Structure 1
Amino acid sequence: MTRLYLVRHGQASFGAGPYDRLSPLGERQSLLLGQHLQRIGLRADAWLSGTLDRQRSTLAGMLQGLEAPPSTEALASFNEYDHEAILSAYLPRVMKEMGFAPDQLNVLFTDNRQFQAAFVRVMRHWMDGAPHERAPFETWEAFQARLGESLEQLTRSHHERIVVVTSGGPIALAVQVALGLTPEKTFALNWAIYNASLTELRARRGTLMLSSFNTVAHLELAGDPSLLTYR
């Protein structure tokens, strides 16, 4: 049996410079998770991450909490979907649907509620394969196939414990595989995944089973509510 520990990256720099960079809070979240894994004595045969900076930095922060940092490997197959390309392709259409003028982009990005509603619409267009006029980028179907193949490779690796630092989309897809969720429920699940959370799946005879989801006890025990973030 293989145990997969999927970690969502720490808080990124949303709205404060390049997104693909941990915020100071994200760095703290990562360190707290690493210290937690040290306390519970978790030992893994492989420590992996995607190749995005926020994913690799989260893994680096986690390893600061381990007494004997292991070797790591970065795999692009565990990267998040390209949300910037998807937004660029579909946001103009969604703004029109929501009654926003093209020059109201800043208004949309400074209103969390409106931005969330717009992003949900954008992602629905992407999942439906709606046409767009931008350069080609990864489709929803290709994203699903990429993660499905990556998970299958891990379950065939013969490792007993594998830690993977990735993002909300890949974690939601892994849960979809384990529970047989619809695409709509899978995407809705994505919104509920905390930064620096821990999700455990177990693979037996090629079948994935969900053992725990979205655990943040290591953050709650710090006694600082600001550590619980979604973005």
Structure 2
Amino acid sequence: MPRISLVRHGQASFGSDRYDRLSALGERQSVLLGQHLRRIGFHADAWLSGSLDRQRSTLAAVLRGLEVASSTDFHEGFNEYDHEAILGAYLPRVMADRGLTPQELNPLLGDNRLFQGIFAQVMKHWIDGTPHERPPFETWKAFQARIHASLERLAHSGHERIVVVSSGGPISLAVQAALDLSIEKTLALNWSIYNASVTELKMRKGELLLAGFNNVAHLQLAGEEGLLTYR
């Protein structure tokens, strides 16, 4: 019965000129996870990540904390959706609908609650397939199909225990597949996934089951302020 641990990457560099890299805090979160796994005697048959820098760096830091050899195995099927392309396509429409000017955007980006509301509207346009004038990028349906196919590939890999470092979107879709969630609940779930958290899935008789969700015991036990982050 294959068991898959889905780890969300550590905190990335939101608001900087390059989001796709771990912050110093994200590095710390990832090392703490590895150290925790070492203490509890955790072992896996396979360690891999998506190909994004924040995902691969998280895996490297986890393995460093675990004190095992680094893994270079990555699988693009577990990459996050292209949020920059999606924002570029739909943010102007959402801002116009809200009566916002470009000058009013920057303050909103610094407010998590306000930004989440705007991004939720942007995501709805993406999911609905609203036409846009930007170059083509991955659709919501293609993203769903990619994640489901990647999970299916792991389930038939022959490994019993697999760790995959991914992102909030793919992890949410994996939970959706296990629990048959609506799109609305899946999106709400996405906003609640902590950085460097662990979600557990298992396959039984060809069915994907949820065995644990959003575990951050390793961060809570560290007793350091500010370790729990969402982005």
Into which bin does the TM-score normalised by the smaller protein fall? over 0.9
- What residue identity is the alignment partner of 2:103? D
Alpha-carbon distance in 2 for matches of 1:46, 1:59: 12
Q: Which residue of 1 aligns with 2:124?
A: 124
Q: Which residue of 1 aligns with 2:213?
A: 213
Q: Note the 1:175-194 alignment, pairs <5 A.
A: 175-194=175-194
Aligned residues: 231
1:204 CA displacement: 1.4
- What residue identity is the alignment partner of 2:59? L
1:183 CA displacement: 1.1
Q: Which residue of 1 aligns with 2:155?
A: 155
1:158 CA displacement: 1.5
1:152 and 1:206 in contact (8 A); partners too: no
Alpha-carbon distance in 2 for matches of 1:119, 1:60: 30
**Residue-by-residue CA offset, 1:158-179 (whole Å, 9 max, x unaligned):** 2100000000000000000100
- What residue identity is the alignment partner of 1:77? G
SS across alignment from 1:94: helix
Unpaired runs of 5+ residues, structure 1, are none
- Of residues 140-149 and 203-212 in structure 1, the stretch that sits farther from structure 2 once superposed is 203-212
Q: Note the 1:19-30 alignment, pairs <5 A.
A: 19-30=19-30
Q: Which residue of 2 aligns with 1:97?
A: 97
RMSD: 1.1
Q: Which residue of 1 aligns with 2:5?
A: 5
1:29 CA displacement: 0.2
Alpha-carbon distance in 2 for matches of 1:132, 1:71: 39
Unpaired runs of 5+ residues, structure 2, are none
1:220 CA displacement: 0.3
> Normalising by the residue count of structure 2, what TM-score does the alignment of the two structures yield?
0.97
Percent identity, please: 69
2:25 and 2:227 in contact (8 A); partners too: yes
SS across alignment from 1:136: coil
> Normalising by the residue count of structure 1, what TM-score does the alignment of the two structures yield?
0.97
**Residue-by-residue CA offset, 1:125-161 (whole Å, 9 max, x unaligned):** 1011111110000000000000000000100112100
Q: Which residue of 1 aligns with 2:144?
A: 144
